[in-house]
């Protein structure tokens, strides 16, 4: 008899009830979003500053920094960032720029290093970012570690993810930020997975791109040969954890449970949970031995994004069968996003200035999309009030 997790059982019962009744979780009413919310440059700049530059972002997974001295360098919305796991096993985040003349200390990518050495003038920093030496020190003049160490960013590791704020001096309490959301995130055990593949995918505007992660209303029409083959369209469970969310889709196999006694159910074979960390993290596609992690970052304009898509497997695939299964999962994730969601999004983007719509209507059956837009407004307003008070 299978071991049954009470929460999973509760979720699968909710999903099965919706399936039988041809219903879904719903918001109390529809929500109107003005087109300016998607295209206004001033609003876009403010929201990026309020959300992406001040709030904790999940910049990497713990498995990208597997051992002491591991680093992960990346460009995030034009900012050069480097994450490093110190010899004390703590992950720290820095702006990836020398404090002398601003050269990049390391190229984007991952690996291990003993120290940071600037390729321009050979200034050196230890793994805590502290200036430890410079070439020709006796001729250069007075500088010190107190004034010229690397610029550190607030950084915490939790639930198999590395969280950082992109603005120097901004601090956060990761436990306060995640709240009850940490429990379902920790349940994914992301620190135990194998990183199979990672890629950056260009896409349409941030909100247009992100909305596609938040509902199953489009699955039958947009994804009939990918995601839609496995999930039931327009059947979604919705739970919130402060600004964060979890949505649950019913798998095509869900009605099989009607022929089984509840004590025989294996819930996770029949539902798909998607964990959505505000404002841009999606952990989804947990299907047997595979998982998809997506981070959607705004581009320099309201019309562009970059999505970092990470394909995880429960273990490093070794046999030909394991390799084929993992590659098939990877290709479905790529096709569903790049060739389906973002193609539709590009069409929305091309028509959004046409005047056909003065506002978009978010349906009652799209509660996660509604919650996202309300959280954007809440944090944007909060930042505006803080700026006014200063």
Q: What is the pLDDT of residues 172-195, one digit of tens each?
A: 999 999 999 999 999 999 999 999
Of the options 1.10.10.10, 2.102.10.10, 3.30.9.10, 3.40.630.30, the CATH number for the domain spanning 57-171: 2.102.10.10
pLDDT band, residue 386 (cuts 50/70/90): confident
Measured in whole angstroms, the distance separating CA 145 from the mean position of its chain's CA atoms is: 34
pLDDT at 216: 95
pLDDT band, residue 220 (cuts 50/70/90): very high
250 vs 288, higher pLDDT: 250
For the cut 60, the answer to whether the pLDDT of residue 1 exceeds it is: no
pLDDT at 388: 82
Q: What is the pLDDT of residues 39-98, one digit of tens each?
A: 999 999 999 999 999 999 999 999 999 999 999 999 999 999 999 999 999 999 999 999
pLDDT at 389: 79
pTM for this predicted structure: 0.95
pLDDT at 62: 98
- DSSP-assigned letter for residue 79: E
Alpha-carbon dihedral sign for residues 198, 237, 187, 68: positive
Q: How far apart are CA 349 and CA 67, in angstroms?
A: 42
For the cut 80, the answer to whether the pLDDT of residue 244 exceeds it is: yes
Burial pattern 244-268, b for ≥16 Cβ within 10 A else e, equals bbbbbbbbeebeebeeeeeeebebb
374: enclosing H helix or E strand: helix 367-389
Q: What is the pLDDT of residues 113-130, one digit of tens each?
A: 999 999 999 999 999 999
Q: What is the pLDDT of residues 331-383, one digit of tens each?
A: 999 999 999 999 999 999 999 999 999 999 999 999 999 999 999 999 999 99
For the cut 60, the answer to whether the pLDDT of residue 24 exceeds it is: yes
**Which SS3 state, helix, strand or coil, does residue 249 take?**
strand
Domain boundaries, the chain: 6-54+180-389, 57-171
For the cut 80, the answer to whether the pLDDT of residue 285 exceeds it is: no
pLDDT at 387: 80
For the cut 70, the answer to whether the pLDDT of residue 2 exceeds it is: no
Among candidate residues 303, 76, 79, 331, the one with its CA nearest the CA of residue 196 = 331
For the segment 144-150, the average pLDDT, to the nearest whole number, is 96
Q: How far apart are CA 369 and CA 27, in angstroms?
A: 10
Q: Which of 212-216, 258-262, 338-342, 384-388 has the lowest mean pLDDT?
A: 384-388
For the segment 156-167, the average pLDDT, to the nearest whole number, is 98
Of the options 3.20.20.70, 3.90.380.10, 2.40.50.140, 3.90.180.10, the CATH number for the domain spanning 6-54+180-389: 3.90.380.10
């Amino acid at each position: 008899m299978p071991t049954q997790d009470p929460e999973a059982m509760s979720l699968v019962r909710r999903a099965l009830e919706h399936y039988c009744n041809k219903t879904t979780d719903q918001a109390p009413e529809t929500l109107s979003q003005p087109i300016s919310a998607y295209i206004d440059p001033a609003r876009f700049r403010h929201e990026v500053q309020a959300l992406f530059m001040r709030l904790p972002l999940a910049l990497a997974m713990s498995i990208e920094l597997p051992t002491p001295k591991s680093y992960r360098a990346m460009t995030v919305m034009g900012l050069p960032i480097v994450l490093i796991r110190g010899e004390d096993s703590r992950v720290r985040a820095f702006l990836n720029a020398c404090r002398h003349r601003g050269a990049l200390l390391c190229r984007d990518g991952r690996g291990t290093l003993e120290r940071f050495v600037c390729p321009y003038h050979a200034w050196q920093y230890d793994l805590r970012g502290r200036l430890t030496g410079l070439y020709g020190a006796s001729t250069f003049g007075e500088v010190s570690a107190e004034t010229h160490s690397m610029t550190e960013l607030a950084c915490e590791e939790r639930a198999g993810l590395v969280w950082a704020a992109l603005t120097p001096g901004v601090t956060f309490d990761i436990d306060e930020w995640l709240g009850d959301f940490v429990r379902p995130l920790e349940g994914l055990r992301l620190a135990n997975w194998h990183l199979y593949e990672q890629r950056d995918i260009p896409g349409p505007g941030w909100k247009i791109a992100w909305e596609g992660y938040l509902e199953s209303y489009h699955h039958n029409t947009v994804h009939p040969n990918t995601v839609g083959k496995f999930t039931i369209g327009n059947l979604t469970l919705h739970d919130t954890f402060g600004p964060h969310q979890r949505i649950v889709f019913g798998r095509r196999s869900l009605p099989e449970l009607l022929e089984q006694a509840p004590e025989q159910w294996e819930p996770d074979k029949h539902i798909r949970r998607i964990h959505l960390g505000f404002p841009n993290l999606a952990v989804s596609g947990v299907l047997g031995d595979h998982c998809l992690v997506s981070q959607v970052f705004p581009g320099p304009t309201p019309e562009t994004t970059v999505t970092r898509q990470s394909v995880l497997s429960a273990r490093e695939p070794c046999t030909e069968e394991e390799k084929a299964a993992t590659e098939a999962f990877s290709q479905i994730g790529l096709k569903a996003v790049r060739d389906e969601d973002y193609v539709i999004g590009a069409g929305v983007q091309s028509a959004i200035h046409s005047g056909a719509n003065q506002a978009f209507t978010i349906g009652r059956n799209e509660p996660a999309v509604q919650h996202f837009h309300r959280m954007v407004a809440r944090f944007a307003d909060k930042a505006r009030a803080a700026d006014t008070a200063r």
